[in-house]
Amino acid sequence: MVTGGAQGIGAATVRRLVSEGARVACIDLDDRVRSVTQMSGGDTLAFVADVSDEAMLREAILEVEQRWGRLDILVNNAGIDGKPALLADGERRDFDRVIDVNLRASWHAMKFVLPGMIARGGGSIVNIASAAALVGFETLSIYAASKAAVVGMTRSAALEYGRHNVRVNALCPGGVLTPLALSFMDTGTTAAWADKHALKRFAEPHEIAAAVAFLASDDASFITGAAIPVDGGMTAH
């Protein structure tokens, strides 16, 4: 299951996992998630729902497990940036919404898939965090806090469930050319952000999806509890 699968990293991840033979379910508030699954060409399910709604998320996961008999991979990708602001200028409602989507929904999804993974002898969870969880960026304190919490949760869960052969890892992308990222940047801002990367460019969504597919696969069978930068050298400074 991929959360936030309608566009950007999520849509690219759906396509990549399908290309590698996986049956993929995805959930997104954006109804374009249906076209992503239809165009992927594989055995897919789409759910139009808010991941921050605990009941909706639980229902989607239960339906996947009932229909396919198993859920081996969870990719917690759904996320929002919130409104960029200095910490003292931030608003409580923005804080609550970012935490609900970026952290609480990931926690719920993990809670709901773990019993089945344990019963079936293992699984892989990939949480999409951010380079902002590893280094500081001005005006992103709320977003950074949510993603740093995801990294901490990832490491704790890896220790708790490794004995059940459940691997839990986080990816920390830098700038990625997604509608979410581009929505709050003009041309000058985009160039300045690209320059923060050692490679002097943004990632394409498929480059992050490739890392997700690796962590989800048996090729990463001895990797757990890791927070891996996929950031073009942004955090190498």
Active site residues: 143
As a whole number of angstroms, the distance between CA 210 and CA 226 comes to: 16
At 174, the amino acid letter reads G
As a whole number of angstroms, the distance between CA 146 and CA 159 comes to: 20
Query: What's the CA angle centered on 106, arms 65 and 34, to 5 degrees?
Result: 60
At 53, the amino acid letter reads D
Contact predicate 71/123, CB 8 Å:
yes
Q: What is the CA radius of gyration of the chain?
A: 17
Q: CB within 8 A of 146, min separation 6: which ones?
A: 79, 98, 99, 102, 103
> Tokens 């891996």 correspond to what residue?
228
As a whole number of angstroms, the distance between CA 176 and CA 12 comes to: 12
> Tokens 């699968």 correspond to what residue?
5
